[in-house]
Structure 1
Amino acid sequence: MDNALMIGLSRQLTLRREMDIVANNIANASTPGFHVESLLMRAEPAPTAEAQDGPSDLQYVDAYGVGRDFSEGSLDFTGRSLDVALEGDGFFQVEAANGDALYTRDGRFRIDNEGRLAASDGALVLDDLGAPILIDPAQGQVRITEDGALVQNNAEIARLGVYRFENLAALQKSGASRYTTMEDNPAEIATEIAFRQGYVETSNVQPILELTRMIETMRAYSSVSRFLSQGEELSRKAIERLGRV
């Protein structure tokens, strides 16, 4: 295949991937704790097809990963006593159904049927020692202090576990605005953090910017498509002329 066509196709593949990411950002613009994503791209050198003249190598487009903006979203007041938002660098720790530890900024909590503090989908919220938090509703309303203590009847019953990571880029997405980590990127207790009871952190997606990115991506894809069509037409005409010689 012609070198120009190969370059164009490589660009189209990355543009399709970028469109998927932008569409996912827009779909999660109202998802609490969601972090906006972007496609990471680079030029990938490769040898050309054999030719008498022309460049010795080409620069293809390669998507090598997805970047995430971990900046804080705005705080949305809900008034619910078990909703908690974080201000600062840190993540709540919840326990997945298989027992794995997951990390999230989504602080929409509730009490499950067994009296445990749980996320909106039932995942258990863990305290600063990595254990489930038990709450007895009969003891009155829970107050959450700015340093993460859960208080009932003026007595501390637990403390929310919040963790930070040295390398945020090493976090792996697991769905539902949650992340997993690897052994070489251990979770550390977050200290410079503030808890806001009755608030939920919204997504940090800026819909207008994402819509602009989507339009730019669509235009770029159309431009590459026209380039490929023109290249194919030139090749066809060249073959026809050679056939008449």
Structure 2
Amino acid sequence: MIDALHIAASGLRSGQQQLDTISNNVANLQTPGFKRGRVNFADIATPLPALGADPQTVIAEQRPGGVRIISTSTSFEPGEMRQTGNALDVAIDGAGFYEFEAADGGLVYSRSGQFRVDEDGFLRNYQGLRLSGDVQIPREGRDMKISAEGEVSVQMPDEVDRTVVGTIEVVRFAAAESMRSIGDNLYAVTPQAGSAVYGRAGSDGAGRLRQGQMEMANVEIIEEMSGLVLAQRAYQLNARVLQAADQVMDTINNLRR
């Protein structure tokens, strides 16, 4: 019965995190650039058998140990591209991230390209984080254009040709799904994700930029609702196992000779 309690408790803990992850996915259904999370489970391993142990004895002694969460990863499958007409909305059509300078001096990454121009001409996201790189828009610059390769140009007064003011780089990682979500559509690098690879948009596997478009969340509501139902049922079943084990232990405790 003690084993049943531990197994049910592990199932409840894992089920709660799965429910939280699915709920977060559904809540961000309309968030531009959001990437759905997913929970990865594994059985709790039993102790390894001693060297030279009889295989039949080992199998007979093995007991289920419950379930645990080995990781919570992010699916970076592309979302729908939606036309906005806003010159400061720039989506990445393909693999890669924008790199931003965090308040603590570190670097964070995002797929969301909803920018604004600050008083110094630098591009910032809606949280106020500055886009890394050398892009700076002059105060007198007009009609900003961003090419599919990330080249940023403006029309300066009394000049016929457009002026290039910088290039937006796209950053890639070998195992992007291993990056750690830190909220607000931002991700931090982990050792498992690998080193950042900087490059020109549209080359070496990096996605091309789409000015005037937003990438929507890659959340499929039907898939998430189906997963939510399964997670709720699993949670209920583990709760019933816990209740049944408690009832059996209560009955045993009240037995009289």
| TM-score in terms of structure 1 length | 0.88
Paired residues of 1:32 and 1:203 also in contact (CA < 8 A): yes
- Measure, in 1, the Cα distance between the counterparts of 2:177 and 2:78: 16
2:178, 2:225 → 1: CA distance? 28
Distance 1:183 1:11 in 2: 29
- Letter paired with 2:140: A
Match of 2:125 among 119, 122, 146: 119
2:171 aligned counterpart, secondary structure: strand
Tell whether the 8 Å contact from 1:46 to 1:60 is kept in structure 2 after alignment.
no
Q: Which moved more, 1:69-78 or 1:204-213?
A: 204-213
Alpha-carbon distance in 2 for matches of 1:84, 1:118: 12
Q: Deviations over 1:93-130 (max 9, x none)?
A: 11111221111110000111222111112111123xxx
Which runs of 5 or more residues in structure 2 are unaligned? 48-59, 156-161
Q: State, as a whole percentage, how many aligned pairs show the same letter.
A: 27
- SS state at 2:228 partner: helix
Q: Say if 2:188 is the partner of 1:180.
A: yes
The aligned counterpart of 1:9 is 9
Give the match's secondary structure for 1:35. coil
* Moved >6 Å (runs of 4+): none
Q: Does 1:207 align with 2:201?
A: no
Amino acid at match of 1:114: D
1:182 Cα offset (Å): 4.3
Q: Which region of structure 1 is more displaced relative to structure 2, 9-18 or 217-226?
A: 217-226
Alpha-carbon distance between aligned partners in 2 of 1:175 and 1:237, rounded to the nearest angstrom: 48
Q: How many residues align?
A: 233
SS in 2 for 1:80: coil
Distance 1:183 1:230, change over 3 A: closer
Secondary structure of the residue that 1:138 maps to in structure 2? coil
Take 1:13 and 1:174, find their aligned partners in 2: how far apart are those partners?
22
Further displaced range: 103-112 or 204-213: 204-213
Report the RMSD for the aligned CA atoms in angstroms: 1.8
TM-score, normalized by length of structure 2? 0.84
State how 1:1-245 maps to structure 2 within 5 Å.
2-46=2-46, 55-127=61-133, 131=134, 133-153=135-155, 154-182=162-190, 185-190=194-199, 191=203, 192=205, 193-241=207-255, 243=256, 245=257
1:79/1:137 CA distance change after superposition, 3 Å: farther
